[in-house]
Amino acid sequence: MKARSLTAALAAGTLTLTACGAPTPSAAPGTLVVAGYGGSYEEAFKESVIPGFEKSCSCKVSYIAGSSTDTVAKLKAQQSAPQIDVALIDDGVQNQAVEQGLLAALDPKAVTNLPKVIDLARLPGDVGVGFSLNATGIAYNTDYYAKNGLPAPKKLADLADAKLKGKLVMPSITQTYGLGALLIAAKVGGGSENKIDPGFAGVKPIAANAVTFDTTADVSNYFLQGQAVASIWGNSRVQTLAKKGYPIEFVYPEEGALPLIATVNVVNKAPHADLAQKFVNALLEPSAQQAMAASNFNGPVVEGVKLDAALAAKVVGQDRAAELRKLDWAVINKNRSAWTDRWNKEIETS
């Protein structure tokens, strides 16, 4: 997320995180601790989102950066005496945290924006909620494809084209995009989370073109250095690279893109639970939703959020959201270890 864009939004008065209201006496002497994504997300929250919330609540917020898995590991270690109030984590990992009893249900009296959240971003029992929307699909270098007479990819199987040999970055199953490729391929072959064999069959010919199996979820350098001309990647990352002038486009595959949902959660038995609930509500304010879309191309999850036409064309809008299928994370997480072992044997060593 670009902190500068959000800062500008605050300065212009367009980002008003005023959902907090009066501070609660129990929270005033303490500090709300938020654990979330690092990098540009951390910059934006520290420079824009957090100052606005602190001002409206007369409170202090401390931000701890880390991956979703790192954050959940901290929550698990602190389960008997939580030190974190709010956790920002990916939807798949969030399901694991719920099953471990690490997260609390949202209070509809405090999170008043909850009824406005689209169905895709609502979570079972309202234990947490999605606050931004993305999608897994296909990324490709438009210049390379044009110069080499390759038609723009329309479906996952197009990445098995022999002309892409050694020019494809295949994401590893250890991160979201690789898992997404497996699930998309499974659907194409008549499978699903509950019937994964077609997924492995569909991924194998694509993986044969891979120059590497990326584990970072950020393949920007592979594109920039010319090592890759295509990958399975996320829309926001593609749009961020395109904004810098790189010739890249995102494709929603014919067989259907998969949702990527960043969730915000109140930690079970959080030290400042009331304030944490209000922080969740602040992220669902239309102004915050607009700012996140403008800064890093995250689609809004709140109904009625208005974006200008140019920006709306680049994010996963709510028309697209209706086409994305909810994933059964309980089934996925139950099987993911076995899938990873199989992937290492059948895909990355083939």
- Kindly state whether residues 301 and 166 are assigned to the same domain: no
- Kindly state whether residues 98 and 127 are assigned to the same domain: yes
Q: What is the CA radius of gyration of the chain?
A: 20
For 272-302, how does the pLDDT look when each residue is reduced to its tens digit (9 = 90+)?
Answer: 999 999 999 999 999 889 888 888 899 999 9
Three-state SS across the chain? CCHHHHHHHHHCCCCCCCCCCCCCCCCCCCEEEEEECCCHHHHHHHHHHHHHHHHHHCCEEEEEECCHHHHHHHHHHCCCCCCCCEEEEEHHHHHHHHHCCCEECCCCCCCCCHHHECHHHECHHHCCEEEEEEEEEEEEEHHHHHHCCCCCCCCHHHHHCHHHCCCEEEECCCCHHHHHHHHHHHHHCCCECCECHHHHHHHHHHHCCEEEEECCCCCHHHHHCCCCCEEEEEHHHHHHHHHCCCCEEEECCCCCCEEEEEEEEEECCCCCHHHHHHHHHHHCCHHHHHHHHHHHCCECCECCCCCCHHHHCCCCCHHHHCCCCCCCHHHHHHHHHHHHHHHHHHCCCC
Angle 343-189-134 (CA atoms, 0-180°, nearest 5)?
70
- Say what the pLDDT of residue 197 is: 98
304, 42 contact by CB (below 8 A): no
CATH of the domain at 189: 3.40.190.10
Half-sphere exposure of 336 (CA within 13 A, CB side): 19
- Kindly state whether residues 71 and 214 are assigned to the same domain: no
- Say what the pLDDT of residue 67 is: 85
- Kindly state whether residues 109 and 143 are assigned to the same domain: no
- Kindly state whether residues 188 and 200 are assigned to the same domain: yes
Q: What are phi and psi of 260, to 5 degrees?
A: -120, 115
- Kindly state whether residues 237 and 180 are assigned to the same domain: yes
Across-strand partners of 90?
262
pTM, rounded to two decimals: 0.83
- Looking at the domain assignment, is residue 236 inside a domain? yes
Across-strand partners of 136?
234, 258
332, 145 contact by CB (below 8 A): no
Distances (CA, A) of 312 to 42, 299, 306: 24, 8, 8
Q: How far apart are CA 188 and CA 166, in angstroms?
A: 24
Burial grade of 84 (CB within 10 A; 0-12, 13-18, 19 or more): buried
- Kindly state whether residues 80 and 121 are assigned to the same domain: yes
Total domains, the chain:
2
- Looking at the domain assignment, is residue 64 inside a domain? yes
Domain with 27 in it:
3-133+260-321
- Looking at the domain assignment, is residue 89 inside a domain? yes
Residue 190 contacts by C-beta under 8 Å, 6 or more apart in sequence? 198
- Kindly state whether residues 172 and 218 are assigned to the same domain: yes
Tokens of 267: 């930690």
- Looking at the domain assignment, is residue 330 inside a domain? no
- Looking at the domain assignment, is residue 15 inside a domain? yes
- Kindly state whether residues 86 and 139 are assigned to the same domain: no
- Say what the pLDDT of residue 28 is: 43
Half-sphere exposure of 231 (CA within 13 A, CB side): 30
Nearest one of 99, 103, 48, 112 to 78, comparing CA atoms: 103
For the chain, list residues with pLDDT below 70.
1-29, 39-40, 350
Tokens of 13: 């008065």
Residue 273 region, left (φ>0) first, then alpha (ψ -120 to 50), else beta? alpha
- Kindly state whether residues 27 and 106 are assigned to the same domain: yes
- Kindly state whether residues 231 and 163 are assigned to the same domain: yes
Q: Which residue has the tokens 């991956």?
A: 67
- Say what the pLDDT of residue 24 is: 36
- Kindly state whether residues 115 and 216 are assigned to the same domain: no
Q: How far apart are CA 52 and CA 59, in angstroms?
A: 10
Q: How many residues does the chain have?
A: 350
